[in-house]
């Protein structure tokens, strides 16, 4: 019922189309920047010529970052699944059934994470086919693996913050507004403050964490320690929303 109600075919199609663009552009972006900065020689220029080269650069330069994409999609999905249901009274109906709050919270959160993630995996699986057919030879399993991990961590982080805001504000518009402000502030705080440690805050810590998990360990040990702390802290909103929903949440507050 939850899946049918909140994930209509149009929404999934919309996510899929955006996801294809994000994955394609992010892969090229990662690949091209990596090949330029790394000491390894990657013969991409020989592989792509003319219009293909232009297209590859165009896509890479206009890449929507995975985080920005996740914020937009997850905020919409959480607003539909939590904030809208609370404000319109559907949550009250749902909680009046003999279901535990734990079950309701877990099912909703699981679907919020898994549906966009499955759509991502589908588009990521399609990419090698596209690249191979264009003879670009640009597809790297490592890039896709890294992106897959980053997507998973970011979807979890964004959804946990947005769910917490939805439960606290009980309003769709406030949830969207506050989520976007908080998440984009985190995203761009590094550029604004300029402190080195801000770069290890979520969502940046997920890049380092993903690198570490797939075996790329080129940073100092301290950086990984800080990243680990921030990554653990980033799970805090999810725990807080779970506890609030299961123990304190008043379903028919007016």
Partner 1 sequence: MGKIIVEMKDVTKCFGNVVALRGVNLEIYEGITGLIGPNGAGKTTTIGIILGLLRRDSGYLSVYGVDPWIKGQEVRTKIGFLDEKPVFPGNMTGRRFLRCVARIYGVNEESVNEVLKIVGLSRHADRSISTYSAGMIQRLGLAQALLGDKEFIILDEPTSNLDPIARIRILELIKSLRKSSGLSFLISTHILTELERVCDNIIVMYGGKVLGACTLDEIYNKINYESYILEFSTLEESKKVYSRVIEAGDADIDGRFVYINQRIWNKIREDIFQFISENGIKMLSLKPRYNAIEEYYKSLIGDTIEI
Close Cβ partners of 103 (under 8 Å, ≥ 6 residues apart): none
Q: Which is nearer to partner 1, 50 or 98 (CB)?
A: 98
Using CB under 8 A, which residues numbered 6 to 35 contact partner 1?
8
Residue placing its CB nearer to partner 1 in the complex, 10 or 218: 10
Task: State yes or no: residue 251 binds partner 1 (CB under 8 A).
Answer: yes
Rounded to a whole number of angstroms, the minimum distance from the CB of residue 205 to partner 1 is 36
Q: Is the bond leading into 203 cis (omega within 30 degrees of zero)?
A: yes
- Among residues 49 and 248, whose Cβ is nearest to partner 1? 248
Give 10 or 51: the residue with its C-beta nearer to partner 1. Answer: 10
In the complex, least distance from residue 14 CB atom to partner 1, rounded to whole angstroms:
15
Whether 169 and 238 have beta carbons less than 8 Å apart is answered as no
Interface with partner 1, residue 243, by CB under 8 A = no
- Binding of residue 216 to partner 1 (CB under 8 A): no
Q: How far is the CB of 92 from partner 1 (least distance, A)?
A: 6
CA nearest to 80, candidates 159, 194, 181: 159
The size of the interface with partner 1 (CB under 8 A), counted in residues, is 23
* Minimum CB distance to partner 1 smaller for 104 or for 180: 104
5 near partner 1, rule: CB under 8 A: yes
d(CA 195, CA 201): 11
Q: Shortest approach of partner 1 to residue 247 CB, angstroms? A: 8
CB of 4 to partner 1, least distance (A): 6
Residues 65-104 that bind partner 1 (CB under 8 A): 85, 88-90, 92-93, 95-101
Residue ranges binding partner 1 (CB under 8 A)? 1, 4-5, 8, 85, 88-90, 92-93, 95-101, 248, 250-254
């Amino acid at each position: 019922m939850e899946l049918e109600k909140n994930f209509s075919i149009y929404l999934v199609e919309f996510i899929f189309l955006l996801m294809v663009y994000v994955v394609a552009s992010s892969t090229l972006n990662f690949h091209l920047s990596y090949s330029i900065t790394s000491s390894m020689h990657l013969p991409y220029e020989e592989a792509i010529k003319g219009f293909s080269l232009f297209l590859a650069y165009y896509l890479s330069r206009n890449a929507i970052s995975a985080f920005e994409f996740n914020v937009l999609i997850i905020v919409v999905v959480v607003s539909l699944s939590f904030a809208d249901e609370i404000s319109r009274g559907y949550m009250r109906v749902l909680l009046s059934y003999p279901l535990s709050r734990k079950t309701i919270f877990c099912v909703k959160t699981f679907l919020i994470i898994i549906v966009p993630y499955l759509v991502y995996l589908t588009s990521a699986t399609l990419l090698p086919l596209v690249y191979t057919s264009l003879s670009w030879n640009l597809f790297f399993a490592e890039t896709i693996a890294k992106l897959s991990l980053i997507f998973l961590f970011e979807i979890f982080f964004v959804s946990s913050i947005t769910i917490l805001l939805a439960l606290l504000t009980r309003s769709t518009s406030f949830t969207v507004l506050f989520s976007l402000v908080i998440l984009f502030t985190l995203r761009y705080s590094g550029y604004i403050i300029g402190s080195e440690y801000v770069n290890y805050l979520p969502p940046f810590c997920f890049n380092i964490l993903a690198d570490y998990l797939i075996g790329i360990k080129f940073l100092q040990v301290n950086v990984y320690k800080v990243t680990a702390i921030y990554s653990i802290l980033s799970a805090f909103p999810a725990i807080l929303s779970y506890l609030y929903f299961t123990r304190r949440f008043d379903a028919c507050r007016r």
